[in-house]
Structure formats: structure tokens, C-alpha cells
Structure 1
Amino acid sequence: MAHSKLIPTISGPEQAGLLYFCTTRAGGVSQDERTSLNLGLNTGDDPARVQDNRQRLATFLGSDPVWLAQVHGTDLLDADQEILPPAPREFDAAITTRRDRTLAILTADCLPVVIWDGQAQILGVAHAGWRGLQAGVLERTWQAMATRCPQAQSWQAWIGPAISQDYFEVGQEVFDAYVSKGPELASFFIPGQRPGKWQADLPGIARQRLEQLCPGKMTVHLSGLCTFKQDDLFYSYRRSPLTGRQATIARLNPV
């Protein structure tokens, strides 16, 4: 669904008490390969243009998102605590129960994942590339949420635009890293066109891992959108290292 004519966005099923969406390439001031709403500072773009883009997003939201310095790990920010800018925050996930916190994840092929409970009492976001996904960033995020909100009876998650299996070629080491710990995950890999290569279905792996966390109580929604294929909508590092970053934004609405 679209939330703004100025900043086109993509979201999943509506949830009372929750705002979440992924930005597209449209609505900003960046130029050339990073046209136009590039929100990533470490992309070789003019920092002033990126800051302009971030300000446009903040104006649209009515608040500044909590930006993370993502490092493809599993560390989790407790965004319920006071956050004093500009302290560096090297995290790949964040959770909050506060309704004055806007969480953000930057991606350009990796999985942006939003997790919430059925009553929208707690919210989490995670940046899951193949390394973070394999290392357990989703499990760590949900476990922290379940600890903070033990009364939750059901859970939902949205896996936003990311690279699809058709375009995500990986080596044998990636296949081995997953299958050595979960033999059932072999079904999410198909042989690549080159010897020793595989095509990996990261969204499928993420859904399976999320559903395993609390069987029968976790509903996972897939955007079904591919960052590599849909050049008009999304940035993709696999398509071109000279690219920007879209943001997945999530916030608990006031009640």
C-alpha cells in the first residue's frame, strides 16, 4: 500500500496499532546510480544529499528514526532505553515497546524483517543478510521480544523486499553453513548454473526459521518483491555496488 505521494512506500497487511513500510527509490534528491531516495550514508553518495533524504523521511514520519550502524551481526538494540545521538550503534536489530520510537533498517538485497505481537504491544526489526540470518539474528530478536512481552499470544512478521532466489547466487560455503546446522534447509537451495554454486532462497529460510520459533503462533508475510529484479523500485548491491539503500520503517502507533 502507498502511504504518501511524496515518498512512495510498500507495506504488508494492515495491523491496528502499527505503522510499517519499506521506502522505494523515489522521492529524494540523490543523483545518478543512487537516484533518488538513497538513505544510506556509507554508499559513496554526497552526505548532504543523504541527510536531505533522511530529513524528508523524518518530516513524513513526524519523527527521526533510530538509525543503526549495521554490521551483518546479531547484536540487538533495546530502543526502550534513552538513545543519545550521535553515539554509534553497531546493531543489526532493535526492539521497542515505546510508541515514540521509530525503528529503521537499511537494505539493498538483505532481508528487512519486521516482527510484532498480535496486539501490537511490542515491535522488532532486523537486518538479515545471509550471515546474520545463519547466525541467528531473527531468533535473538524474537526471543528478546518474547521475554519482554510474555503475555503475547500470537506473533506476526513481514519480510520486506529483498533479493530473490533467482538472482542470489552463493558458494558452497554458504550452503554448508546452513545445511550443517539444519539439514532441512537444503530444500531452500537449488543448483546454480555454475559448478559449485547455489541459488539461495533467503526469504524462504527466514520464514521457516520464524515459524519454528513458536509453531502455530507465528504468521509470516512475504512481500514477494525482488530488489535485484525490480531496478525501478529498489536499490540492489548485487546488481551494482554503486547503489543506495532503502529503509524499512516500523513504529507502534499511539493508542
Structure 2
Amino acid sequence: MPSEAPSLTAHPDWLQPQWSQPATGVRAFMSTRAGGASVGPFESMNVGLAVQDDPAAVTANRLRVDQTMGAKAVFLQQVHGSEVVVLNAAHALPDVLDIAPVLRADASVSTTPGLAVAIQVADCLPVLFAAPGGVAGAHAGWRGLAGGVLEHTLATLCREAGCRPGDVQAWLGACIGPEAFEVGVEVLQAFAVPAVAASSEFFSYRPKAAGEARWRADLAGLARQRLQRAGLSAISGGTWCTYSEPSRFFSYRRDRVSGRMVAAICLV
């Protein structure tokens, strides 16, 4: 089982996974707002290119990710789906030359040392996977979770690394917490939860004087349940709320004009 190697230049405020089990040969982190070059609402470690930030600042921030990883971080064009890509050398070609392939997916797998998985978030849940011979990451909002992005990522990782689900451990990064994540009936329906005016395991009913019924959803709890059902027992993290800590985390739901953080992992 892999174990996190010391990071190179990680900012002291960034999150460092505390894996459930000891491991070797993996480097991983999740950035916060600190340690970057962006200003204004994107201050300062925004890695999102599609949020109207200065492209030069985003490029500098992504370079910081590479330097911290000691590897080339491959970003995805995330679409809230369940598609998984397996990274290869072509994905590390320079974006500025327009020769790197555009990856429309919400998860990726790497079995190549020096080629890092990079997942962007600003309320959705990033999940990093470590296994003997491979790593993976998934962007898990409620749509992706309901669509099976975690299960698809795990299956692809096990196939590419030649391991079993029981050999894999997962770390959950920061996401919007259950006290802040208010959802409608369509989210309950996506998870096959009866739409009744009562609470269930991961949905807490919030009465309203008028208008449609609303619930508060536990995104990290839903992810843990799905990972456990898929055969994982080593699951850690998922204790930070992006919405409730504006000085530390970007949050799209809180601010609308918001940067993006990154959760990254690679073999070393």
C-alpha cells in the first residue's frame, strides 16, 4: 500500500492526507486559498482557468502545483459526470502549445510516476485514491456521486494497477458540509431516497413556510457509504466545510464568483 512522501514546497495551510493505513511512494495534497498569485475574489491560489481570473496568475498557480507534486499535474475539463480517463505521456504535453488533449471527464487514473492526477473543486468533494502501483482522483458532486463516479474510478484503478478494492484506500478532501448544503427533492430522487418530510441517513429535512421542500445533504457521508459498498474499508478525511470557512476555502455556493482549489496525487 502506498505511503505519502514528504511534499516539496506545500504551503503550510494546505491539507495533507492522513491515510488510514501506512504506505510508500505517493505524494498528495489539497490546496486552500493560500499560497498563490491571484488577487481579488480569486485570492490567491486559484487554479481554475474558466472563472475570469488573470490567466497569467492561474498559470503561475498551476506551476506551483507541479512544483509541489514534483510531477506534471493533469487537469480535467470537469462536467459533473462519471467518465474516467487513464493518463499517459501525451496528457503531459504543454497546454500553451495547444497540443495536450482536452480531457472531458470527472476522474483520472495514473500508474506513471511523475504524472499527477489533479481534481478542481469549490464545494464538490474531491476524492483521492492510493493503491499499490496506481493513484486516482475523482470530482464528486451530487450528480457525479449519483452517477457512479467513485465506483467507476475504483474499477478503472483496480484494472490499471492490477489490484483489488480491498487494496485501495481513499481520502476525502474539503467540500460543502451538511449544515450548509441545502438541496431539493431532485437530489433525493437521484439517490433513490423517498421524498417525504422526514430525515434519512444522509438527508436532514428542513421545513419551509412556503415554497418547495428542502433538505440538507451530507456529501461526504454519501461518498463514504458508496466507497464502503464498493469494497473499501480504509477511508479517511472529509471533515472540512468549504462554505463555512471563507478565509480558507473557495466556495461557489457561498460566493458565486469564486476560484477553484485542487486535490492532487501522484506516484513518486
Q: Which residue of 1 aligns with 2:252?
A: 237
**Residue number among 18, 27, 38 corresponding to 2:26 in the alignment:** 18
1:60 Cα deviation (Å)?
3.1
1:29-71 Cα distance to aligned partner (Å, 9 max, x none): 2111111011101111111211121122223333331010101
Cα distance 1:30–1:7, how it changes in 2: closer, same or farther (>3 A)? farther
Q: CA RMSD of the aligned region, Å?
A: 2.2
Q: Bigger CA drift: 58-67 or 163-172?
A: 58-67
1:158-195 Cα distance to aligned partner (Å, 9 max, x none): 010000000000001111111259xxx94100012435
Letter in 2 for 1:250: I
1:7 Cα deviation (Å)?
6.4
Question: SS of the residue aligned with 1:82?
Answer: helix
**Residue number among 55, 59, 74 corresponding to 1:47 in the alignment:** 55
Q: Which residue of 2 aligns with 1:37?
A: 45
Q: Is the 8 A contact 1:93 1:124 kept in 2?
A: yes
After TM superposition, the structure 1 = structure 2 runs for residues 56-71 of structure 1, keeping only pairs within 5 Å, are 56-71=64-79
Instruction: Output the CA distance in 2 between the equivalents of 1:249 and 1:172.
Output: 33
Q: Is the 8 A contact 1:66 1:102 kept in 2?
A: yes
Q: Which residue of 2 aligns with 1:207?
A: 224
Are 2:177 and 1:164 aligned? yes
Question: SS of the residue aligned with 1:68?
Answer: coil
Instruction: Output the CA distance in 1 between the equivalents of 2:238 and 2:227.
Output: 15
**Residue number among 76, 82, 94 corresponding to 1:74 in the alignment:** 82
Q: Which residue of 2 aligns with 1:250?
A: 265
1:66-105 Cα distance to aligned partner (Å, 9 max, x none): 0101011111111146324432111100011111211100
After TM superposition, the structure 1 = structure 2 runs for residues 14-163 of structure 1, keeping only pairs within 5 Å, are 14=19, 15-80=23-88, 82-83=90-91, 84=93, 85-117=99-131, 120-152=132-164, 153-163=166-176
1:5 Cα deviation (Å)?
6.1
Instruction: Output the CA distance in 2 between the equivalents of 1:16 and 1:147.
Output: 20
Q: Is the 8 A contact 1:154 1:218 kept in 2?
A: no
Letter in 1 for 2:215: W
Letter in 1 for 2:243: F
Question: SS of the residue aligned with 1:167?
Answer: coil
1:101-155 Cα distance to aligned partner (Å, 9 max, x none): 11100000000001122xx311110001110110000010111122223444522
Q: Which residue of 2 aligns with 1:192?
A: 206
Q: Is the 8 A contact 2:69 2:265 kept in 1?
A: no
Unaligned runs of 5+ in 2: 94-98
Q: Is the 8 A contact 1:80 1:95 kept in 2?
A: no
Q: Is the 8 A contact 2:206 2:215 kept in 1?
A: yes
- Number of residue equivalences: 246
Instruction: Output the CA distance in 2 between the equivalents of 1:141 and 1:170.
Output: 25
Are 2:241 and 1:226 aligned? yes
Q: Is the 8 A contact 2:18 2:237 kept in 1?
A: no
Relative to the length of structure 2, the TM-score reads: 0.85
Instruction: Output the CA distance in 2 between the equivalents of 1:248 and 1:143.
Output: 20
Question: SS of the residue aligned with 1:125?
Answer: strand
Q: Is the 8 A contact 1:175 1:186 kept in 2?
A: no
Instruction: Output the CA distance in 2 between the equivalents of 1:54 and 1:18.
Output: 19
Question: SS of the residue aligned with 1:204?
Answer: helix
Unaligned runs of 5+ in 1: none
Q: Which residue of 1 aligns with 2:96?
A: none
